[in-house]
Amino acid sequence: MTTAAKPSSRERLLEAAATLTYRDGVNIGVEALCKAAGVSKRSMYQLFESKDELLAASLEQRASAYVATLLPAAGDGRSPRERILHIFEQVESQSGEPGFQGCRYLAVQIELKDRNHPASRVAHRIKADLTAFFRTEAEAGGASDPDLLARQLSLVFDGASARAGIGADRLAGLVAPTVTTLLDAADMR
């Protein structure tokens, strides 16, 4: 019989930060984070310079899983148009899951306001990478203005994610036609 190794204090803090900040926001207190992780404040400050650094590390740790669930695999044989639509299919699917509260990276940027905050810098980079993906695909698909289309797709992505996250709208039957209209208007293949 094998026993799974108990997660380290660092891993438990990162998980608590990811869970609590997604559910309750970035203003969650250090005590609540430490209690959820089962770690003392002293241990937290030995592992992370500050709560801000813990939040940034937590977002960074989640980034690869976020990208893996959202973006299509490189060289998957789909057209640029299909690759873009794939992202919006993923958001639509995720938005129907219990506990969905929108894009955690957008939420951090909105809540923190300070673009120099360590967590805000991570979130900004992840969101910029998504826009860059849209731009690359738009260019590969022959869009008439790849930069504009990338910005428009990011706007739709963030708006759809935010509206679904606050329960203001259901994305089914709404996002794909909206994105298709943008792709058609940009002469996207």
Whether the per-residue pLDDT at 151 is higher than 70: the answer is: yes
Name the percent of the chain lying above pLDDT 70.
98
pLDDT tens digits, one per residue of 10-31: 999 999 999 999 999 999 999 9
Average pLDDT over residues 173-189: 95
124 touches 112 (CB < 8 A): no
- pLDDT at residue number 75: 87
Q: What was the pLDDT predicted at 3? A: 61
Placement of tokens 């036609």 in the chain: 177
pLDDT tens for 34-53 read 999 999 999 999 999 999 99
pLDDT tens digit string along 69-126? 999 998 899 999 999 999 999 999 999 999 999 999 999 999 998 999 999 999 999 9
CATH 1.10.357.10 is right for the domain spanning 56-185 = yes
Phi/psi at 177 (5° precision) = -65, -35
Residue 1: predicted pLDDT: 56
Write the CA distances from 117 to 54, 104, 121, 144, integer angstroms. Answer: 12, 15, 6, 36
